[in-house]
Structure 1
Amino acid sequence: MSQNGWRKSSRSGGDGGNCLEARVAPWRKSSRSGGDGDNCVETRVAVAGFEVRDSKLGDSSPIFELAATDFTGLLRAASRS
């Protein structure tokens, strides 16, 4: 993926014709994640709310899709702990 979040379709030809690109929201690591790699959570904006994953697992992490109200509840619960 490029720095600006655009991905070129794998079906686009090498000659520049028939190119399709889609933009994917970048993952953002929690400011509460420790520098030692523990307790790392990443989020990104999704169509229906937010997506959350374990940054230690990277692309192999399961992705949890949360509605905006559920995501807000998660943040409130995390701030109390």
Structure 2
Amino acid sequence: METKREREKMMEIKREREKVMETQREKEKVMESQREREKMMETQREREKVMETKREREKEINTKRKREINGDK
């Protein structure tokens, strides 16, 4: 039969384990949030690249049109 001291010790160990597990869950949440932020930032960089390419293409088209209008070709 367990003594009161043994039960208390086991309960303390159990509480410590639970604290460690909770800390681990919190770390995982933080890491997941960080991954999500990085993913959003990468998506934003990709959008910016696409927009820059689009602007460059429009600029080329406009330059070409101006040359055609002015007869410079």
Q: Normalised by the size of structure 2, how large is the TM-score?
A: 0.22
Q: Which has the higher contact order (CA 8 A, sep 6+)?
A: 1
More strand by share: 1
More helix by share: 2
Which structure would you say has the larger Rg? 2
